[in-house]
Amino acid sequence: MSPDRDSGLREHLVGARLAGDVATSPRRTLANCAKLAAGDEHYTFGLSRPCTIREAVHAVVALCGGDPPAADPDGDGWIDPDATLQAIAVHRERLARFTATGGGRVLLATGHPTGLLPHYAAIARFLQARGCLLLAPLDDSRVAVGEGDDQRRSLRFLDGVACVSDGGSLRHTHGSRYMEAMLDELAGDAPDLVIADHGMAGAAIEQGLPTLSIADVNDPALPLAQARGLTDAVLAIDDNLAPRLFVPVTAAILSG
């Protein structure tokens, strides 16, 4: 990417609040670090090894750059836009390298369909046009992840991307069970690459699969996985703004 284009993308990230000052407060991020350390399955994202609150916080700071010294605990959070740019470059380089050999098996999934589905769908089209096989295990199948309404939720692939559905709408989820079920269905024929977020990414990372992932500042499990050397491609960015704001990010990733 040229310096001018890189500068323009940085300005967009900050202006759109995808990085820089972001909406999630430091207090909320710290609370989620505590939930991760307590083993709350909504925040572990499928990672099995326990951690301390301190380790989780340090992992977030390492990935996102930490909060400015004068940060208000209930004010804006902080994602270093330069760290975001570096991770975008990693995603771009990995996709370029992956497609250079003319194909591979890819599984795309999101727990944040209202924010990230168009981004993943664009990547899915890019990959398919370059000869990659998009996997769709358990498409339109129910996955039992808990009691009550959870038992009626299904996986549904839209434009090549796995989402969680209750039959009438797509659902936000942190859960890892959906990805675990898809990987179990694939058995010994695992994907060559996973592109995902939330527990969809965490479960793939836990199984040692090459994974390009996205994490907001208040999702400490994926930064923790990167700090522990389980992955090296976590993109820190606000994950639930209007999809149109993500378009320049998608274009930058696909520009390789």
Can you give the residue ranges of every domain in the chain? 1-256
SS3 call for 153: coil
Q: Residue 215 corresponds to which tokens in the numbers above?
A: 């994490």
Per-residue model confidence (pLDDT) at position 20: 95
The answer to whether residues 221 and 43 touch, using CB atoms and an 8 Å cutoff, is yes
Q: Residue ranges of the chain with pLDDT lower than 70?
A: 1-5, 67-70, 146-151
Residue 66: the pLDDT is 72
Q: State which amino acid sits at residue 183.
A: L
Measured distance between the N- and C-terminal CA atoms of the chain, rounded to whole angstroms: 8
What per-residue confidence (pLDDT) applies to 101? 82
Instruction: Give the pair of three-digit tokens for residue 201.
Output: 């990414």
pTM for the complete prediction? 0.94
Angle at CA 61, nearest 5°, toward 12 and 225? Answer: 100
Separation between Cα atoms, residue 200 and residue 174, nearest integer Å:
8
